[in-house]
Amino acid sequence: MTEPNHEKEPAMSRRKMLAALGLAGAAMSFGRAAASGSSVMDSVYGTKKRCECANVRSVDELRTRAPDCAGEQVVLEGYYGSTPGVGGGILVAVQGGFTDDGGSLFQSGKPGWFWKRTGSFLTVEDFGVARGSDTSAAARNAERLTAAFQVTGYTVSATPRMTYIYDGDVIVASASMLDCRKAVFQGITGCIRIASTGCVVHSPVLDDSLRTDNRRAMLIEADHVQVVHAEFRGNGHQECCLEITGSSVSVSHSRLRDASYMILATTGRGTRITGNYFTGGNSKAVLNEARTVATTVPWGDAIKLTSDPNDLANNHATGRHDNIITGNIFDDVYRDCVDMFTDGSRTIFSHNVITNHHWNILDIKCIYRDLPVNGTSLNPGRREESVIAAGNLIKNVDNPYASGESLFSVVHYKNPESGGKVTDYGLGPNKIKIYGNSIDGAFGYVFRALDSHDVSYCDNEHFNMINNAVYITGESGTRHIDVDRNKFYYANGKDNWGNPLQVIRRTSANCTRGSVSGNTFVCYKKDGFRGAVAAVVMGNRMTAKGNTGEGFDIVVDAARGTDLLCDGTVAHDGKIAVRVGQYGTVTGARVSGTYASSCVQVVAVHTANTAKLIMVDNDGIDISGTAYSDVSAIVNRVERNNSVM
C-alpha cells in the first residue's frame, strides 16, 4: 500500500487528524473503550475499503483467491505447499486479457483477474520445476521447463549449480536467453531442444548419467543460436552430446565428453566451434547407420559434419558450409577430431591443440562408395572442398598404421585400394590446404591423400616421427598435389620403418603435376641404422626440387613415371642422393644440381626401367662408390657431373 505524503497534505487534514486523536484521548479519559487504530484512520480517510497484503501457501491456493482491487498484493510462500520458500514471491492483482502460463501469471479465483509476479527476473522454480534427485518429478519438470522457457517478458534463470531431472523433451520455443548458471540438467529420455532463433544458451551442465535412450542431450534446430560455457557429460554410449540442425550456430568455451559424436552437425550452414574442450568417446557401444543395432567397438568423434544418409544421392541436399573450428583442445579423443562424412565444404580447422590422440585428426572425404555395394559409385553432386587446416599443435598420436589411417586424411573412403571401390579424383575432395602445423610424435601416417585434386601440404614441422609420414596415391589418380617446405625429423632409425614422403603412382593410375620441393628430412641414426627413403616420387610431370636429407638410405627416389624433374637435392650421411627407375619405367627424367657428402652414390640408375635420362651438374664428395657405369643406352645427355656414372 502507498503511504500518504504528509508534506503535501492540506492544513485542514492535519487539523482533522489532531481533532480525531483528541477525541480518542477524551474518550479514554472518560473510561470509555479506547478507539482502535482503524477507527482513527477511518476518521481521517473515511471508511472506503483498502487492499491488504496476505499470504498464500501454494499456487493451487493462489488460483482460488479472488483479488479485491487492482494492485492488491499477496505473498506466495512456495509454488507447492510441500516446499515452502521454493518458487514463492510477491504477486500483484491485474485485470485484462492475460493467460495463465503457470509461472509469471496465474488465473485468480475471480474471472478476468490474474495474479502477476513482480520484478523482471524469475527462476525455473517459479514455474514449478522441482529441484534435486527425485525422479518422480521428472516428467512434470520437462513440462514446466518448457513453460518457463517460453516466457518473453522476464529473464528466466536456473538456480546456480542446482540439479533438475527431466524426462521427455524440453522445448525452448521463444526465450532469448537460457541463463543456466552451471545448473545440472539430468535427462532420462528426450533432450533440451532449442527452437528459438537467436537464443543464447549460457552455462548449462547436461549430465546423462540417468539417460536410458541413446540420442542426444541437446538439439539446436533454430538458426543463430549461441551455446557458451556449457558442459556436456556423456555417459559413454549415446549417439551425441549436442546435435546441430540449425544454421549459423556457435558453440564456444564448452566441455564435451564421452559420446559417439560429441557434436553432430547434420544440416544447416555456418557452424562455429571455438575454444571448447573435447575428450573421450563411446566406451560402451556404437550405433549402426540405421541407429538400430549397437556394437561393442569403442568409438567417438569429437565433431562430425554430415547429412542424413538418405540425402547422399540428392544433388540439392543442404551442406555443412563455411564452418570454423578453431582454438579447441582435443585430448584423448577415441577417433576423429573432425569427421567430414559428406558435408565439410569450406571449413577452417585452425589453431587447435590435439594431444594423446588415437585416430584421424581431420578426415576429409566425399563418400558415395557403396551405392550399390558392388562398388559402382554414384555421384551425389557434393564433395568436400576448400578445407584449410593451419597452425594446429599436435602431440602424441598413435593412429593405427595397419588400417591406413592418418592425422590429416583426404580420401573418398578408408583404404579404397583394398576395397575395390570405383572412385574418381574429379569428384573427390579438392582445394585442400594443410600448412603451418606442428606435429610431435605420430605412429601412423600424418597426411594421406587419395583420389583428390588441388591439395597442398606445406610448411609443416614433424618431430619424433616413427613411420611413413606423407602418402599420396589414388585409384584413378590425384592432380596438383604439392608437398613443399616441410620438415621431417626421425629419431628411431630402423627400429621402425617407413618412408617419410611418398607421392606415388598406383599400378593403374597416375599422380600428375605435383610438387615435392623444399623439404628437409633428418633421421638421427640409432645403432648405426639409417632411415629408409626420404621421398618416393612417382607420376607424370612431377617436380622434386631443393629437398635435403640427412641419415637416409635414399633422399629422393624418382621411382616411376614420365617427365620427372629432380633438381637441387642435397644428401648427407646416406647411401644415395637420388635413385631413378627402381620400381617401374621412368621416361624423360632430368636429374640436376644434386649434391652429396658422406654418401655412397650421388645418382643411382636402374638401367632396365629408365629411358631418355638427362643428368647435369651433379656433384659429390666423400663418395665411397659409383652408380651403374654403362648408361649410354638410356641417357640423352650426361654433362658436368662429378663422381658420376
For residue 319, pLDDT over 50 is answered with yes
Distance CA 217, CA 206 (A): 6
Distance CA 502, CA 469 (A): 8
Please count the CA atoms within 13 angstroms of the CA of 384 that sit on its side-chain side. Answer: 35
Length of the chain: 645
For residue 231, pLDDT over 90 is answered with yes
Sign of the torsion formed by the C-alpha atoms of 76, 80, 83 and 88 = negative
Of the candidate ranges 5-14, 207-216, 345-354, 377-386, the one whose mean pLDDT is the lowest: 5-14
pLDDT digits (tens, 9 = 90+) for 533-559: 888 888 888 899 999 999 888 999 998
Give which of 374, 381, 373, 458 is closest to 426, Cα–Cα.
381
Sign of the torsion formed by the C-alpha atoms of 198, 204, 208 and 211 = negative
> Residue 597, exposed/middle/buried by CB under 10 A (0-12, 13-18, 19+)?
middle
Diameter over CA atoms, the chain: 147
pLDDT digits (tens, 9 = 90+) for 94-138: 999 999 999 999 999 999 999 999 988 999 999 999 999 999 999
Domain boundaries, the chain: 50-119, 121-344, 485-629
> Residue 626, exposed/middle/buried by CB under 10 A (0-12, 13-18, 19+)?
middle
**Per-residue b or e along 35-60, where b marks 16 or more CB atoms closer than 10 Å to that residue's CB:** beeeeeeebbeeeeeeeeeeebebbe
pLDDT for 329 equals 98
Residue whose C-alpha cell reads 571448447 in the numeric block: 276
Of the candidate ranges 65-74, 414-423, 485-494, the one whose mean pLDDT is the lowest: 414-423
Q: Is 365 helix (H, G, I), strand (E, B) or coil?
A: strand
Q: Does domain 121-344 have CATH number 2.160.20?
A: yes
For residue 566, pLDDT over 80 is answered with yes
For residue 285, pLDDT over 90 is answered with no
pLDDT digits (tens, 9 = 90+) for 192-215: 999 999 999 999 999 999 987 778
What are 240's strand-pairing partners?
A: 261
**Residue type present at position 166:** Y
Mean of pLDDT over the chain: 79
Tell me what percent of the residues of the chain surpass a pLDDT of 70.
72
**Per-residue b or e along 500-514, where b marks 16 or more CB atoms closer than 10 Å to that residue's CB:** bbbbbbbeebbbbbb
CA angle, corner 518, sides to 509 and 596, nearest 5? 100
What are 340's strand-pairing partners?
A: 305, 364
